[in-house]
Amino acid sequence: MTESAAPEAAISPARQPPRRVVSGMRPTGKLHLGHFHGAVKNWIAISQQADCFFFSADWHALTTEYADPSKIEASTRDMFADWVAAGLDPERVTLFIQSRVKQHAELYLLLSMITPLGWLERVPTFKEQQEQLREKDLATHGFLGYPVLQTADVAVYGADAVPVGQDQVSHLEFARELVRRFNHLYGKENKPVLVEPRPLLTAVPKILGLDGRKMSKSYGNAIELGEDGESARKRVMVAVTDPARVRRTDPGNPEICAIYHLHRAYSTPEAIERVGAECRTAAIGCVDCKKLLLVSLLPELEKHRDRRAELDRNPGRIDELVQLGTRKAQAVAEQTMESVRAAMKLG
Ligand code: TRP
Ligand code: SF4
């Protein structure tokens, strides 16, 4: 985006701390390590310094799960409880459910009026997902409109920053362009109606799934944050490692190995260094390397399970906080919508 680089930098230098942050996650059930290291860990850090709105993107879940929405509600509760068990302070952030804040839908509709079709078809995840989820018919208006809804999610709160992983960069770039187009059409000079969000890109440690592909529930290669120790142990022990290590004496490349990525997230600096070096020289075998990982990983899974169990003893508490958060979200979103309606002569 060459044309925006200079003015953007002038208005909001990259170092300026975020003021209001919005992020969502599709409710797909229990959280796995990929969700934690790719998003939630980062949210916890950001919540120390910005006003944060984190939500269950249940409408977004429907873009692919519309044929069977039966699991979405239970998944939302599971997901919130896992966020909190993982360390997100529910009193510090605003937690809510997307579908309970109708202003997202209204802004989505209005934004859709000004969204060029070509922009939507160009978003890389559109074609990619259609190809990866072949068993689902994703040739729908809702699926095509995914990034428009996501733009509404962020803009309706006037968020100036959105924490994103590398795979979400194209969605955020889309949101920025759409907000700019909106402001160009309906804003007065120097008085934008909507805030252009910038990406908060943080270096996320890469955590691959146990088969070496991206960690994802739908691939069955994920370790759940609170996975039972025995199950995690069995699955780690049969996980794919560097395929070049056919024999025990073959040296490996830890960088492409899911086990090494997990070491980086869970083991001590000494262990990480040792494993990395000994993998390259074939001084350590994959079986021992995995056993070493389990020593640091399993206690963490257990801690999460315990915290989850404690929260589950009083599920009403999270429900209450979500209700409170939803009301707060509605109030903030309604304020934005008042300016939006006025700007579009719907006021
Ligand atoms: N697309 C995100 C995901 O893959 C979920 C999401 C929906 C989101 N709306 C958002 C993320 C707004 C950040 C900001 O889970
Ligand atoms: Fe992966 Fe460890 Fe085997 Fe190296 S030794 S390939 S890091 S499991």
Q: What is the pLDDT of residues 57-106, one digit of tens each?
A: 999 999 999 999 999 999 999 999 999 999 999 999 999 999 999 999 99
pLDDT tens-digit series, residues 185-233: 999 878 899 999 999 987 777 889 999 998 988 889 999 999 999 999 9
Answer whether residue 343 shows pLDDT above 90: yes
For residues 310-331, average pLDDT: 96
Least Cα distance to 296 among 259, 241, 324 occurs for 259
pLDDT on residue 8? 37
pLDDT on residue 14? 54
Residue type, 91: E
Of the pLDDT bands very low, low, confident and very high (cuts 50, 70, 90), residue 164 is: confident
Q: Ligand 2 test: best mutation among 206, 253, 275, most atoms within 8 Å of CB? A: 275
pLDDT tens-digit series, residues 266-307: 999 999 999 999 999 999 999 999 999 999 999 999 999 999
pLDDT on residue 202? 74
What's the whole-model pTM score?
0.91
Q: Ligand 1 test: best mutation among 20, 26, 96, most atoms within 8 Å of CB? A: 26
Does the beta carbon of 276 lie inside 6 Å of ligand 2? no
Q: What is the distance in A from the centroid of ligand 2 to the CA of 279?
A: 6
Of the pLDDT bands very low, low, confident and very high (cuts 50, 70, 90), residue 167 is: confident
- The phi and psi torsions of 192 (rounded to 5 degrees) equal -65, 150
Distance CA 294, CA 47 (A): 30
Do 20-206+315-343 and 226-311 fold alike per CATH?
Answer: no
Q: What is the mean pLDDT of the chain?
A: 92
pLDDT on residue 186? 97
CATH 3.40.640.10 fits 20-206+315-343, yes or no: no
Of the pLDDT bands very low, low, confident and very high (cuts 50, 70, 90), residue 242 is: very high
Q: Is 314 helix (H, G, I), strand (E, B) or coil?
A: coil
Q: Domains of the chain: which residue ranges?
A: 20-206+315-343, 226-311
CATH number of 226-311: 1.10.240.10
pLDDT on residue 9? 35
More confident residue, 157 or 190: 157
Mean pLDDT lowest among 12-26, 150-164, 182-196, 330-344: 12-26
Ligand 1 pocket residues where CB is under 6 Å: 22-26, 57, 60, 150, 153-154, 162
Distance CA 152, CA 228 (A): 38
For residues 171-197, average pLDDT: 95
Least Cα distance to 163 among 209, 200, 188 occurs for 200
Cβ atoms of 199 and 159 closer than 8 Å: no
DSSP string, 92-155: TSEEEEGGG-THHHHHHHHHHHT--HHHHHH-HHHHHHHHHTTTS---SHHHHTHHHHHHHHHH
Q: Ligand 1 test: best mutation among 25, 46, 162, 218, most atoms within 8 Å of CB? A: 25
For residues 162-188, average pLDDT: 93
Q: Relative to the CA of 150, which ligand 1 atom is closest?
A: 9
Q: Ligand 2 atom 3: the closest Cα is on which residue?
A: 286
Answer whether residue 10 shows pLDDT above 70: no
User: Whose structure tokens read 């955020």?
Assistant: 172
Answer whether residue 173 shows pLDDT above 80: yes
Ligand index nearest the alpha carbon of residue 256 = 2
pLDDT on residue 13? 46
pLDDT on residue 203? 73
pLDDT on residue 11? 41
The encoded tokens of residue 43 equal: 């949210």
